[in-house]
Amino acid sequence: MEEQDWVYSDVVKDHFLNPRNYLMGDESKFDYDAVGLVGNPICGDQMRMYIKVVGGVITDVRWKTYGCASAIASTSALSELAKGKTLDEALKIDAKMIDDYLGKLPKHKFHCSVLGHDALRDAIEKYRTKK
């Protein structure tokens, strides 16, 4: 493998060390409208995405994840990208957009950017189902 395949960008490092919108503590203290859950608890990768929606716009996002630095950084970036978007706009945020925002993940970690996207999609679907 090329050395660059194993190097994290400064943006990835920043989002890992200083995650945005991470839900610390008790979920009941965050006034959310829906929560999405994806992952496999057996292998340790699990993600929850909490959304607050006002007038069809995601006004706030919080998340929790059990995963590697790439999963944490990807979800942090996704939470920043999703805020202020309509539900349909947020659904268009894909793994490539997250990867580009982060300045590229190592190739063997690209799959980590998919977890957050899937959790957000699940939260939006649950929000729409309960309306």
Q: Which residues are catalytic?
A: 43, 112
d(CA 70, CA 65): 11
Say if residue 54 is exposed, middle or buried (CB neighbours under 10 Å; 0-12, 13-18, 19+). exposed
- Three-class DSSP category at 38: strand
CB distance 82 to 58 below 8 Å: yes
